[in-house]
Every structure is written in C-alpha cells, then in structure tokens.
C-alpha cells in the first residue's frame, strides 16, 4: 500500500528518479575489504618499487652500462685485432718487406763472411806464391839486381792479381763452394803468365840488350821454360834483334858473353 501511495501520489518523472536514486543497497563487507586490500596491496607494491629505485645509486645503472659498453669495446677490439693480424701478415707488402730484410741480412752476412774467407785465402795463397817466387828468385836476387827488380815487380803483379782475385771473389759470393776455390784459380799459373804478359813495364824489357841478358840468366839458372817464354815475347817485340840472338836452351850456353860481363860488372 505504501508503494502504491508513493507512485500514485507522485506520478511524474522526478518522483520516479528520486525513487531510483534513493534505492538503498548494502554492499557486502567482505567485498569492501577485499577491494580495499587489493588497492592497498597494489599501492604498496608501487611504493616498494619506488623505494628500490630511490635507494639505488644514481650512477649504478649508467656505470653498469658504461662498464658493459667498455667491456664490449675491448672485446670487439681484440676480435678485430685477431682477425686482422693474420691478414696483415699474409699481405703481399709484408711478404716483400720480410723477404727484403731477410735476404739483405743474409746477403750481408754472406758477403762479409765470404770476403773475410776470400781475403784470408788470398793472403795464404799469396804468401805461398811469394814464397815460391822468393825461392825461385833467391839465387838471382843474390847475384843480380835485375832479378831483385823483377821480384819486386812480381810482388807488385801479385798485389794486382790479389786485388783482382778479391774482386772476382766478391762477385761470386752467392756460390758458397766457389768462394774458397776462387782465390786459388786467381793464383793459378794462368794468372802468373798473365802477370808476365801483362807486365810490359819490367825494366829489362825496356831495352833489347837487357831483355837478352835476362833470357841468358834464365837459361843459365836452368829455367828453360821461362827463358823460352821470354824469348817468344822478345821475338814479338824485337823481331830484328831476335834474328841475331838465337839462344841455345838445351845447352844452357850463352853465345854472347855480354851477359856475363854485365853480371860481373854489376
């Protein structure tokens, strides 16, 4: 009856609106508590996150980031170096450089070593040759000043030959086996003949008479071969004189007593 009275007494929209607005409901307490607890829990979680962020050192994250970045950079550098180093070692330029350096060093060592050995060999050979020459000329040097002059000239020719052989030895440095044999070749009889042939400045060859006397001395000393060589050269230089002077190499005789005189006069 009361409801009907209310509705009938106020049949306009405002009364119905008031009726709806005034509708009373009772929210269960457990719903209220549950909702408020949820709200408080979510809020507490937010506050905890804020506290953690607030207590975190300001530079912690950037420092960690920087450290990580630095470590990554170092690792990348090592990686790039590990990749590039073998490539650089295998590059044509580096091969050329290393080859040049090694070859030059090796060549220098070879040159110096071979030069020393060549000089030593040359000195030893020269000493032997000089000893031989001295032995050969010892008799003549003792009696004839021309022979002494010749031996000195021979010494000069030996010096020239030694220098020549030294140059040849330097030219053949790369051949290790020939280094030692080269001075011996340079000091061979060929070299000796060349020395005689290439010694036109010998004093006795300046005049025909001295040359004839030298040939006679060689014959007297029994050095027939040298006497023949000298005579053959003499024939080439002085063909007219050679027709008049015919030495007897076998008898070791001297047709012309002039050399004796010449020797005795000296």
Partner 1 sequence: MIIQATQVIERREAFIDTDDEQLMLEYSSGEVQAFKQLYSRYEQSVYRFAFNGCNNEARASELFQEIWLRVIKARKSFKPSQPFKAWLFTIARNLLIDNYRSQSRTALDNRAGNDAYADPDTLPQDSFSSIPDTWSRAPLTPEQIACASEQNTILRDALQSLPLAQREAVMLKHIAGLSISEIAQMQGQGSQAVKSRLRYAMVKLRQNLKELS
The residues binding partner 1 (CB under 8 A) are 2-4, 7, 11, 13, 16-17, 19-21, 23-28, 31-32, 34-36, 38-40, 42-44, 46-47, 50
Please say which residue, 18 or 181, places its beta carbon nearer to partner 1. Answer: 18
Task: State the CB neighbour count (10 A cutoff) for residue 237.
Answer: 13
Give the whole-angstrom CA distance, residue 38 versus residue 58: 32
Please say which residue, 30 or 243, places its beta carbon nearer to partner 1. Answer: 30
Report the nearest approach of partner 1 to the CB of residue 6 (Å): 8
Please say which residue, 15 or 241, places its beta carbon nearer to partner 1. Answer: 15
Report the nearest approach of partner 1 to the CB of residue 36 (Å): 6
Please say which residue, 22 or 142, places its beta carbon nearer to partner 1. Answer: 22
Whether the CB-CB separation of 204 and 147 falls below 8 Å is answered with no
Please say which residue, 12 or 250, places its beta carbon nearer to partner 1. Answer: 12
Report the nearest approach of partner 1 to the CB of residue 56 (Å): 17
Report the nearest approach of partner 1 to the CB of residue 41 (Å): 9
Helix (H) or strand (E) run with residue 42 in it: helix 29-55
Q: What phi and psi values does residue 58 have, to the nearest 5 degrees?
A: -65, -40
Report the nearest approach of partner 1 to the CB of residue 18 (Å): 9
Give the whole-angstrom CA distance, residue 150 versus residue 217: 12
DSSP assignment string, 143-172: H-HHHHHHHHHHHHHHHHHHHHHHHHHHHT
Please say which residue, 46 or 59, places its beta carbon nearer to partner 1. Answer: 46
Closest CA to 192 of 162, 172, 212: 162
Give the whole-angstrom CA distance, residue 169 versus residue 119: 9
Report the nearest approach of partner 1 to the CB of residue 37 (Å): 10
């Amino acid at each position: 009856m009361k409801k009907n009275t209310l509705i009938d007494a106020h049949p306009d929209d405002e009364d119905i609106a008031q009726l709806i607005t005034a509708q009373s409901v009772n929210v269960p307490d457990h719903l209220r508590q549950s909702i408020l607890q949820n709200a408080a829990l979510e809020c507490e979680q937010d506050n905890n996150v804020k506290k953690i962020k607030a207590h975190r050192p300001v530079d912690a994250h950037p420092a960690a980031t920087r450290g990580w970045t630095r470590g990554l950079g170092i690792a990348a550098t090592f990686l790039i170096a590990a990749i590039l180093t073998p490539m650089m070692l295998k590059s044509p330029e580096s091969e050329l450089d290393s080859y040049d350096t090694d070859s030059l060093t090796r060549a220098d060592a070879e040159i110096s070593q071979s030069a020393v050995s060549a000089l030593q060999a040359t000195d030893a050979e020269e000493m032997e040759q000089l000893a031989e020459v001295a032995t050969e000329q010892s008799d003549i040097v003792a009696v004839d000043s021309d022979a002494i002059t010749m031996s000195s000239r021979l010494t000069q020719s030996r010096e020239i030959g030694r220098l020549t052989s030294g140059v040849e030895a330097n030219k053949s440095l790369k051949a290790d086996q020939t280094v030692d044999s080269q001075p011996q070749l340079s000091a061979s009889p060929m070299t000796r003949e060349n020395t005689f042939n290439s010694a036109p400045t010998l004093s006795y060859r300046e005049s025909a008479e001295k040359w004839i006397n030298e040939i006679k001395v060689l014959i007297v000393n029994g050095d027939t071969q040298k006497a023949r060589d000298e005579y053959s050269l003499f024939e080439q230089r002085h063909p007219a004189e050679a027709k008049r002077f015919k030495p007897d190499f076998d008898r070791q005789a001297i047709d012309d007593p002039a050399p004796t005189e010449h020797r005795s006069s000296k």
